[in-house]
Amino acid sequence: MELFKNTNFDFLGKKWPFIIASLVLTVAGFGSIILQGGIKFGIDFKGGTLMTVKFDDKPNLEKIRSAVNARIQGENTVQDFTDPAAKNEVEIGTEMKNETQLNINRRALEEILLNNFGQPNNGKLDFNNASQQSLVERLRDPLARAGVAMSDQQLQAVAKAMMDYRDTPPRSGLIHDFADLSSLPGVNAGIMNTLKQECYLAPYHILKTEMVGPKVGAELRNKAVYATLYALAGMLVYIAFRFEWIYGLGAVIAVFHDTLITIGLFSIFHEEISMTVIAALLTLVGYSMNDTIVIFDRIRENIKIMRREPLESLMNKSINQTLSRTIMTSGLTFLTVIALFLFGGPVLHGFSFALVCGIIVGTYSSVFIACPIVLFWHNYSDRRRKVAPVMASAPRADAPRKSPSKAAK
């Protein structure tokens, strides 16, 4: 099966609509960022507390929000997830002005949850949010008093079995009835009785707590940005060395363009930039660069074969020759990423969103951004050469003089 056999599309003739579309997208992204008062960073980069809580039933966001705002000053966020895999989950975020608030805010959030949804005054341990150790400590003496003979190891093993049962899907941290535990290995009627006496089941479970001090956040952000910029510079130098400097510049501008548009799309869709999103951005940089180099490589090869061909039609031919490969690779990678986006769950959401945007933008930028830049430069320098009488006879097609001969293999 072959889809694109001997195509002959005039890609570069249609570059302007795409360049304009890119500019519009970039401007829209920037506009959105400005309207929202800057890039929406996750707590990795701006500092803050973020708690993800899974509820038994559809949670009352308004109730949580007012309780949080009453207790914690500053800009707080309470939101649920659209992802069906994260049903009944809520993310509570608070700002953090300095490191000392780190623990205060976490404790405040835990208390808010306990007071609003748990049973703060019955003196029992909340099984759904207990750790193995706290469960063991809670049960040890009552079990001894109730005459249930078991060694510390046995008790630890039973507690571990209960925790493991609670934490594996589909429970995912929440059980509704103690009776579910009765069939676990090592659990007997005596243990069940004591467990019911000493513990209760709150209708929520804290899945994740993340706290990042603002200083660390700023540091992480700067490091990530600088690392990426240095990496781009490194690629520019390598491509300049293998091709021509303008090819390097074109490829880097195209990749930069992809990153900007993706960040803009994040702002437009109200997605946060977190550390995993940075990993995704790096992935798309790698992907888009790969795509561009494949096309450049073909251009370099064709320049040697078709010496008399004007650069624009030569580029068009090269893009057409690699079109089948471009579509195949992008399509296949897109399949993987779409799978990640659809089934990957909330943890991978931002990550896969960046890749979905990135692959689309990264594929067309190789054709409509990187190539036109190289073309513009060559047309411009040709015109200058024509003005200069000495250089007038220099044949255009010899331009990539630096191409190493081994590439002709």
**Taking CB under 8 A as the criterion, which residues in 219-248 touch another protein?**
219-220, 223-224, 226-228, 230-235, 237-239, 242
* Pick 19 or 338: Cβ nearer another protein: 338
Interaction residues for another protein, span 165-204 (CB under 8 A): 166-169, 171-173
CA dist 239 and 223 (Å) reads 24
* Cα 200 from chain centre: 37
273 to each of 96, 259, 279, 296, 396, how far by Cα in Å? 17, 12, 10, 31, 45
Binding mask 355-394 for another protein (x = CB under 8 A): x---------------------------------------
The least distance separating another protein from the CB of residue 85, rounded to whole angstroms, comes to: 6
* Pick 189 or 305: Cβ nearer another protein: 305
Q: Single out the residue of 12, 202, 273, 337 in contact with another protein (rule: CB under 8 A).
A: 337
Q: Are 209 and 163 in contact (CB under 8 A)?
A: no
Stretch that binds another protein, among 16-24, 96-104, 195-203, 384-392 (CB under 8 A): 96-104
The least distance separating another protein from the CB of residue 33, rounded to whole angstroms, comes to: 23
Binding mask 302-321 for another protein (x = CB under 8 A): -------------------x
What number of residues does the chain have? 409
The least distance separating another protein from the CB of residue 35, rounded to whole angstroms, comes to: 29
Strands (E), 227-312: none
Partners of 78 in beta bridges: 92
The least distance separating another protein from the CB of residue 384, rounded to whole angstroms, comes to: 29
* Pick 119 or 222: Cβ nearer another protein: 222
* Pick 28 or 240: Cβ nearer another protein: 240
Q: Single out the residue of 345, 377, 381, 396 in contact with another protein (rule: CB under 8 A).
A: 345
Q: Single out the residue of 80, 91, 210, 309 in contact with another protein (rule: CB under 8 A).
A: 210
* Pick 76 or 283: Cβ nearer another protein: 283
Residue 310's nearest CA partner among 13, 2, 1 is: 13
CA dist 1 and 9 (Å) reads 20
In terms of Cβ atoms closer than 10 Å to its own Cβ (0-12, 13-18, 19+), residue 223 is exposed
Q: Are 94 and 74 in contact (CB under 8 A)?
A: yes
Q: Single out the residue of 15, 46, 205, 257 in contact with another protein (rule: CB under 8 A).
A: 205
Contacts of 214 by beta carbon, 8 Å cutoff, 6+ apart: 46, 47, 48, 96, 97, 98, 99
Q: What angle do CA 399, 404, 409 make, to 5 degrees?
A: 115
Residue linked to tokens 């009352």: 60
Stretch that binds another protein, among 14-22, 181-189, 211-219, 263-271 (CB under 8 A): 211-219
Interaction residues for another protein, span 58-87 (CB under 8 A): 85
Partners of 321 in beta bridges: none
Binding to another protein by residue 114, rule CB under 8 A? no
Residue 135's nearest CA partner among 153, 114, 117, 160 is: 160
Contacts of 373 by beta carbon, 8 Å cutoff, 6+ apart: 246, 249, 250, 253, 254
Tokens of 42: 């996750």
The least distance separating another protein from the CB of residue 397, rounded to whole angstroms, comes to: 20
CA dist 161 and 167 (Å) reads 10
The least distance separating another protein from the CB of residue 36, rounded to whole angstroms, comes to: 25
Stretch that binds another protein, among 34-42, 55-63, 322-330, 386-394 (CB under 8 A): 322-330
The least distance separating another protein from the CB of residue 243, rounded to whole angstroms, comes to: 9
Interaction residues for another protein, span 251-290 (CB under 8 A): 275-276, 278-280, 282-283, 285-287, 289-290
* Pick 237 or 394: Cβ nearer another protein: 237
Give 81-87's long-range contacts (Cβ < 8 A, gap of 24+).
81/346, 81/349, 83/345, 83/346, 83/349, 85/343, 85/345, 85/346, 86/345, 86/346
The least distance separating another protein from the CB of residue 399, rounded to whole angstroms, comes to: 18
Stretch that binds another protein, among 215-223, 256-264, 306-314, 372-380 (CB under 8 A): 215-223
The least distance separating another protein from the CB of residue 385, rounded to whole angstroms, comes to: 28
